[in-house]
Amino acid sequence: MTSVRPSTQSPRSSSASRSKASPLPKDLLTVADIPRNKIGDLIKLAKKLKAAHGKTRPTFPLKGKTLGLIFEKPSTRTRVSFEAGMNQLGGQALFLASEKIQLSRGESLADTAKVLSRYVDGLVVRTFDQSALEEWARYTSIPVINGLTDHCHPCQALADLLTIVEKKGRAKGLKLAYIGDGNNITHSLLEIGAKVGMHVSVGCPPGYEPDSTIVKQARADGAQTGARIEITHDPMIAARQADAIYTDVWISMGQEEESQARMAAFAPYQVNSQLLKQAKPNAVVLHCLPAHRGEEITAEVLDGPQSVVLDQAENRLHVQKAILLEWLGK
């Protein structure tokens, strides 16, 4: 895992609704980049956009805007939700597979970033190393949005928060249990939970804990919001009295060589009916998808009445429309 450098870029004010006291940064690289009060604003805007979707006459606030999508990893939800969201807001999206542009033939990232800044109004970058994402942000004069790195996944965490608020009416004071790998999803959930006052308990095998720097910062933020941050090796303890249970695949993109070791380590961390009994009776089940039924979660739970994974996936669209409006709108 790579560490996240503090943003050194000048804030951009792209919406009249932004507070002068806590403007959004130029780029959305991590949840930690978003001022605490702005997280609530983004969720409110996403709820408004969702409520209006298909029910009111559309407006096109991003008409004439173009979003570039630079992807080094396969994608279903991230690509489709950003492309659809941009289209629904009146703009257009250009998919730029990294192997199909001159980056693959040796052009420097810096040169590519500077040129694309002259062509498009924003970039979504889906890559492996957080440092590569930061390099895109450093060399562009336009907003860069994290579409996933090995380190974090802020758009997913915002959609998760929207889902929890929809289902539970609030996030503050609730308990979210994450069962599995201390990966990019875990990092963003820790960051967002701490910022909004939601307790986060991570149940993971020894050696697969989340980044200690992120845990330390989440605990510091949680001290301000009342959120408790817990890391345990016992999945049953993590799930105890949880309002939401969350899991992710055990083997992420780029970890295929670790498959055998990971399958053995994570076998006791499956989200199944026994583990779900440790949570509150009305707990919801989340998964960022794609899911491997029979591995990190059973089909019984994933397809059961407590699962909200399809609502969660839909909410990527609405949250990202809010992000596009805030970062690309003027």
Q: Which two tokens stand for residue 212?
A: 């200690």
Nearest partner of 233 among 200, 261, 208, judged by Cα: 208
State the pLDDT at residue 21: 54
The answer to whether the beta carbons of residues 309 and 297 sit under 8 Å apart is no
Confirm if 285 and 308 have CB atoms less than 8 A apart: yes
pLDDT in tens, 62-94: 999 999 999 999 899 999 999 999 999 999 999
Instruction: Tell me if residue 138 is catalytic.
Output: no
DSSP state of 268: G
Cα separations (Å) of 38 from 56, 113, 196? 26, 27, 11
Active-site option among 33, 77, 126, 211? 126
C-alpha closest to that of 189 among 232, 222, 223: 222
Based on the residue annotation, tell me whether 126 is a catalytic residue of this protein: yes
pTM of the prediction?
0.92
Q: Are 96 and 70 in contact (CB under 8 A)?
A: yes
| Per-residue confidence (pLDDT) for residue 102, from 0 to 100 | 84
Give the pLDDT of the chain (330 residues) as one tens digit per residue. 333 333 334 334 444 444 455 789 999 999 999 999 999 999 999 999 999 998 888 889 999 999 999 999 989 999 999 999 999 999 999 999 888 888 878 899 999 999 999 999 999 999 999 999 999 999 999 999 999 999 999 999 999 999 999 999 999 999 999 999 999 999 999 999 999 999 999 999 999 999 999 999 999 999 999 999 999 999 999 999 999 999 999 998 777 888 999 999 999 999 999 999 999 999 999 999 999 999 999 999 999 999 999 999 999 999 999 999 999 996
CA distance 24 to 121: 16
Closest CA to 39 of 153, 155, 126, 124: 155
The pLDDT value recorded for residue 11 is 37
Q: Which of 121, 151, 155, 156 is catalytic?
A: 156
Domains of the chain as residue ranges with CATH: 31-152+315-328 (3.40.50.1370), 155-312 (3.40.50.1370)
Taking CA atoms, 157 is separated from 24, 60, 64, 141, 194, in Å, by: 17, 26, 29, 26, 12
The residue to which tokens 């970033």 are assigned: 113
| Spatial distance between the Cα atoms of 84 and 250, rounded to a whole number of angstroms | 29
The catalytically annotated residue of 77, 153, 187, 199 is 153
Active-site residue (options: 221, 248, 262, 320) = 248
Contact 248, 288 (CB under 8 A): yes
The active-site residue, picked from 199, 262, 287, 316, is 316
Give the per-residue pLDDT at 104: 75
Residue 176: what pLDDT?
Answer: 99
Crossing angle (nearest 10°) for helices 36-52 and 184-196: 100
Sheet holding 244-247, edge to edge: 229-232, 199-203, 175-179, 244-247, 284-287
CA distance 309 to 4: 29
Of 288, 312, 318, 320, which residue is the catalytic one? 288
- CA nearest to 175, candidates 157, 195, 214, 201: 201
> Based on C-alpha coordinates, what's the Rg of the chain?
19
Per DSSP, the three-state class of 84 is helix
- What is the helix (H) or strand (E) element at residue 81, kind and residue range? helix 77-88
**φ, ψ of residue 104 in degrees (nearest 5):** -70, -10
Please, which residues have CB within 8 angstroms of residue 16's CB and are 6 or more apart in sequence?
none
Q: Is 204 a catalytic residue?
A: no
Q: In what order do the strands lie in the sheet with 66-71?
A: 92-97, 66-71, 122-126, 144-148
Residue 111 a catalytic site member: no
Q: What is the pLDDT of residues 56-65, one digit of tens each?
A: 888 899 999 9
